[in-house]
Amino acid sequence: MTTDLPVGRAFLAVHPPEEVLEAVAGSVASARESRAGPRWVGREQWHLTVQFLGRVASLAPVVDGLAALSAFPAFTLRLGGGGAFPNARRARVIWIGATAGGERLAEVAGVVAGILGPLGYEADQFRPHLTVARLRVPGDVSSALAALGRDPVGPDFRVEEVILSESRLSPRGPTYTALARFPLRLTENA
């Protein structure tokens, strides 16, 4: 990986394993039937964003700084519960949250913000979520959220790495390319 080249839009994320994505797909299928209008995000784009960086002039300081994530212990996460940004009546985004381990993912986001803040990358307010749909015009998505429910979605999974990816926009939607992987510390119980 060449770290001295500029990168388009970059972000750090956690990617759930295939069996979790299968369960998410089942939940999303129910929600799709309940609500026409949203642009449903493709499965290949499902992830939990830790921090959006935007354009990156040089990857080297980002990669060097994020190597410190190796001190953060791996943890267990479970998805579940639908939500919307900014709210269900005027939604722009429909998401699935975390029913367990979300506070640990928030801690990772805090560590990342502490590392990247001095490099000029500002963190947004963090809420663990996996985006499943977007709306061009804000709308009421209460029926979609009811279909997503509040129950856990899929099995628990271990978060053992955070991935730095580049997002390239095209008429068919964004494509993501992994640029670097930052393993978390595996404990004896892992």
pLDDT in tens, the chain (190 residues): 545 555 779 999 999 999 999 999 999 998 888 766 799 999 999 999 999 999 998 899 999 999 999 999 999 999 999 999 999 999 999 999 999 999 999 999 999 999 999 999 999 999 999 999 999 999 999 999 999 999 999 999 999 999 999 998 777 778 899 999 999 999 755 4
Q: For residue range 136-154, what is the model confidence (pLDDT) as tens digits? A: 999 999 999 999 999 999 9
Q: For residue range 148-185, what is the model confidence (pLDDT) as tens digits? A: 999 999 999 999 999 999 998 777 778 899 999 999 99
Structural domain includes residue 125: yes
Closest CA to 137 of 41, 50, 61, 38: 38
Structural domain includes residue 1: no
Structural domain includes residue 188: no
DSSP state of 90: S
Distance CA 18, CA 47 (A): 12
Boundaries of domain holding 23 = 7-183
Assign residue 173 a region (left: φ > 0; alpha: ψ between -120 and 50; beta: otherwise): left
Number of folded domains that form the chain: 1
Structural domain includes residue 2: no
Distance CA 149, CA 175 (A): 29
Structural domain includes residue 133: yes
Distance CA 80, CA 20 (A): 10
Give pTM, 2 decimals: 0.91
Residue 144 tokens read as 């979609």
DSSP state of 7: E
| CB atoms closer than 10 angstroms to residue 149 | 15
Structural domain includes residue 73: yes
Domain of residue 143, CATH code: 3.90.1140.10
Residue ranges in 44-190 assigned as alpha helix (H): 59-66, 102-116, 142-148
Taking a C-beta distance cutoff of 8 angstroms, is the pair 129, 102 a contact? Answer: no
**Distance of alpha carbon 37 from the chain centroid:** 22
